[in-house]
Amino acid sequence: MGLKRNVGLIEGLRYQGKGPMLTYILHRIGGLAIVIFVAVHILSSYFGGNIGIFFNTFYMHWAFQIFIFFCALFHAINGLRIVILDLWPKLIEHQREAIWVEWAVFLPIYAIAVFVIARTALGG
Amino acid sequence: MQITIKIFRYNPEKDKKPRYESYKLEAVETDRVLDLLEKVKGYQDGTLSFRRSCAHGICGSDAMRINGFNRLACKTLVRDTGAKITVEPILGLKVIKDLIVDMEPFFENFRSVIPYFVNDEPEPAQERLQSPEQRERFDDTTKCILCACCTTSCPSFWANEQYLGPAAIVNAHRFIFDSRDRAAAERLKILNDIFGIHRCHTIFNCTLACPREIQVTKAIGEVKKAIVTGSLE
């Protein structure tokens, strides 16, 4: 009878959940990126030699560092927001404001980090 | 104004795959999406299938994805959607035909949380008394109309339909925090299951989708806290 369950990755990503859905997706991407980052570190040490140097140049590249810092910082701050709301459910009424606070904390820290990484990379 | 409404179509007796069909029709800003669907069915394509009943946001029959977001068609005005509207069935349930989904997994989850009053103590001579404060404790969650907007907006439910989902938890909350009820411990045990409340990742899609503006995530948070602390305070 009928279709199978009508949901998959693409259908899920198409859902217009606005701000909260965006933080959820970024949190998952961030978690995955952190796992990849740690895995590359471990593989680099495990293999050593030319393969290790290849992995080193990959994760030490400034563009990758800007990306991974976005993932790690967002994952941390978003996780903190969720922990706080889970521990004090009364605050959940202010979840919209909590997301704005999250971005207000995240953006300046990230902007400073990008500036420092880029300036260092460009020899400033 | 002229409206273009693009509708998800699937007839299991004819179609191998779902498709979308667009219809053009005249509407005013205060028309509801349900009115547009009725016009399409009445004047352009009688084969279109969708659920509706009261048409006033009470029965919860006409939950659907409108422009990618779960809403009740009877509470969504054209002025809020614009002239191009896409209507699709809610996610995470099997499509029976067009916009009609199989709600049975949703209601099965609902039934599993004992969503009714339990008290085996001898009945008092008059009614079971409750203070206004005690009644206020679960007032928000009495508003649920079981439309499934919340549950089918939840990524955890999309991932696994065995997850009880926000609507079942909201209805458990309604009785867990009722001072006259005596089955809170049993419900908390059910919700503490592997497919229970801990699958909620505090995403908030449910709260935004609820057409009755229930603080769904807050209710879930209160039940989580009750499970962890063992206290209903």
Across the interface, whether the CB atoms of A24 and B207 are under 8 A apart is answered no
A115: in domain = yes
Our count of domains for chain A comes to 1
Cα–Cα distances in Å, from A10 out to A6, A31, A112? 11, 19, 34
pLDDT score recorded for residue A7: 85
Using CA of residue B175, residue B177, residue B182, residue B188, what is the dihedral sign? positive
Q: Does a structural domain hold residue A2?
A: no
Beta-sheet strand order (sheet of B84-88): B19-26, B2-9, B84-88, B63-66, B69-72
User: What CATH number corresponds to the domain at position A65?
Assistant: 1.20.1300
Residue A32 has pLDDT above 90, yes or no: yes
pLDDT of residue A2: 57
Contacts within 8 Å (CB) and 24+ apart, B75-82: B75/B32, B75/B211, B76/B32, B76/B33, B76/B34, B77/B29, B77/B30, B77/B31, B77/B32, B77/B33, B78/B1, B78/B3, B78/B27, B78/B28, B78/B29, B78/B30, B78/B31, B78/B32, B78/B33, B78/B36, B79/B29, B79/B30, B81/B33
- In this prediction, residue A54 has a pLDDT band, given cuts at 50, 70 and 90, of confident
Euclidean distance between the first and the last CA atom of chain B, given in angstroms as a whole number: 53
- Judged by CB atoms closer than 8 Å, whether chains meet at A15 and B65 is answered as yes
Q: How far apart are CA B77 and CA B1, in angstroms?
A: 13
Q: State the pLDDT at residue B19.
A: 94
Question: What is the pLDDT averaged over residues A20-42?
Answer: 93
Residue A43 lies in a domain: yes
How confident is the model at residue A57, as a pLDDT?
A: 86
Query: In B, which residues are within 8 Å of A12 by CB distance?
Result: 91, 155, 158
Q: Beta-carbon neighbour count of residue B151 at 10 Å?
A: 35
Q: Look at domain B2-101 and name its CATH class.
A: alpha beta
pLDDT at A1 over 70: no
Residue range(s) defining the domain that contains residue A34: 18-121
CA-based nearest residue to A80, from A16, A23, A25, A22: A23
CA angle centred on B86, ends B85 and B89, rounded to 5°: 140
Which residue, among A10, A83, A92, A102, would best test binding to B if mutated, counting the most B CBs under 10 Å from its CB? A92
Q: Between chains, do B91 and A6 touch, taking CB under 8 Å as contact?
A: yes
Domain ranges across chain B: 2-101, 104-229
Under CATH, what is the fold of the domain B104-229? Fumarate Reductase Iron-sulfur Protein; Chain B, domain 2 (1.10.1060)
pLDDT value, residue A121: 86
Q: Enumerate the residues of chain B whose CB falls inside 8 A of the CB of residue A3.
A: 10, 12, 18, 94-95
> B9 CB near a chain A CB, below 8 Å?
no
Low-confidence ranges of chain B (pLDDT < 70): none
Q: CB distance from B20 to chain A under 8 Å?
A: no
pLDDT tens readout for residues B126-158: 999 999 999 999 999 999 999 999 999 999 999
Q: List the single range of A26-30, A54-58, B77-81 with lowest mean pLDDT.
A: A54-58
Which residues does chain A have within 8 Å of residue B202's beta carbon, measured at their own beta carbons? 82, 85-86, 92
Characterize B36-45 residue by residue with b for buried, 16 or more Cβ atoms within 10 angstroms of its Cβ, and e for exposed: bbbbbbeeee
What is the rounded average pLDDT of the residues A113-120?
A: 93
Give the residue from B181, B180, B186, B144 showing the smallest Cα distance to B165: B144
Do A24 and B155 count as a contact with CB atoms less than 8 A apart?
A: yes
Q: In the structure, what pLDDT confidence band is assigned to residue A124 with cuts at 50, 70 and 90?
A: low
**CB-based contact (8 Å) between B202 and chain A?**
yes
Mean of the per-residue pLDDT values of chain A: 91
